[in-house]
Amino acid sequence: MGVLGVLTAGGDCPGLNAVIRGVVGRATERGSEVVGILDGWEGLVHDRTIPLDRDAVRGILGRGGTFLGTSRMDPYVHAEGLVSCSPTLTKNGIDRLVIIGGDGTLRAAMRLSEEGMPVIGVPKTIDNDIEGTDITFGFSTAVQIATDAIDRLATTAEAHNRVIVVEVMGRTKGWIATHAGIAGGADYILIPEFEYDIDEVAGTLRHRHESGRRYSIVVVAEGIDPPVGQDAVETKKDAFGFDRLGGVGYRVAAAIEERTKFETRVSVLGHIQRGGTPVASDRVLATRLGVAAADLAIDGHTSVMTSVSGTTIEPVALSVATAGIRGVPDHLYRTAATFFG
């Protein structure tokens, strides 16, 4: 039997270590050697690897981050794809890969498989927006962190008679905002999938306060457009060419305060949503995905990712997973909107 290589690439996500442990546990159980590739694609291009066995992955199940390290390098942007990875693959005898990453990483993984390298993907993002799977690991943890934050912000907002805008992650889709907003009882939720009218938002909050409520919580996804009349937020690009987001909540707060005259504060949750220990359901999901990925790799599958379909884990073509970004459905947003104001 050959050697299975495993790497984590792109932004980190609670549950990555549990996936790695799942891959190593099942692969070693089935008699396959496993090599861990350090710092994402960088380790594959620059031959930074470590041998992995059951002992190497003890104690990591509940830890945040990724003990293999990660990077924002793209092997097709910053290197020559398979040609650049081949020396490391050959030297370590790696004949199949498990690549754990988000949409940019899965796209690179698909290209590697098209060049002839057997690859299994494991979809990873707290944003929960990868096509072809019902849910991604790390999402539940991020939602719990954001919900806890909303609960805390609500009591201080109430004490001071304030509006607080809570900005959560969600580059192009508003899954975290919608779920945390529902769970935290948000008074308005703004997400990229649905256009909003800031006058209507302000009117809803005004009506709420006139009806005796002392405070309001508005949850916004970082990827929404700023309100009409407010400047765009300046952004830098990351190595995948994506905008580094953060700050639109300040624009929303300014527009609300201007219209309502209510004191409006902002809390940008940022990377706190990605750090720390995964909740139990993410540890279970990540373990199942890792085990399934090892099985698929050892059974000779390629160019698929492990996907959640109802209660089962199934292979889905990487071409399906990378064809688009999965948004919040109308019915879910409408459920949240029932409680606005």
Judged by the rule CB under 6 A, the positions of this chain that interact with ligand F6P are 11, 102, 125-127, 169-171, 222, 238, 244-245, 274
CB of 21 to ligand F6P, least distance (A): 22
How many angstroms separate the CA atoms of 290 and 297, rounded? 11
DSSP string, 251-281: HHHHHHHHHH---EEEEE-GGGGTSSPPPHH
Longest dimension (CA), the chain: 71
Residue (70 or 88) nearer to ligand F6P, CB: 70
* Catalytic residue chosen out of the listed positions 39, 103, 127, 282: 127
Residue (57 or 145) nearer to ligand F6P, CB: 145
Query: Closest CB to ligand F6P belongs to which residue?
Result: 169
Q: Residue for token digits 């199934």?
A: 314
Residue (26 or 274) nearer to ligand F6P, CB: 274
Residue (47 or 238) nearer to ligand F6P, CB: 238
CB of 79 to ligand F6P, least distance (A): 20
Burial tier of 58 (Cβ tally within 10 Å: 0-12, 13-18, 19+): exposed
How many angstroms separate the CA atoms of 7 and 19, rounded? 10
The torsion angle over the Cα atoms of residues 66, 51, 318 and 128, rounded to 10 degrees, is -10
243 is catalytic: no
CB of 170 to ligand F6P, least distance (A): 6
Q: Do the beta carbons of residue 45 and residue 73 sit within 8 Å? A: yes
CB of 58 to ligand F6P, least distance (A): 28
Catalytic residues: 127
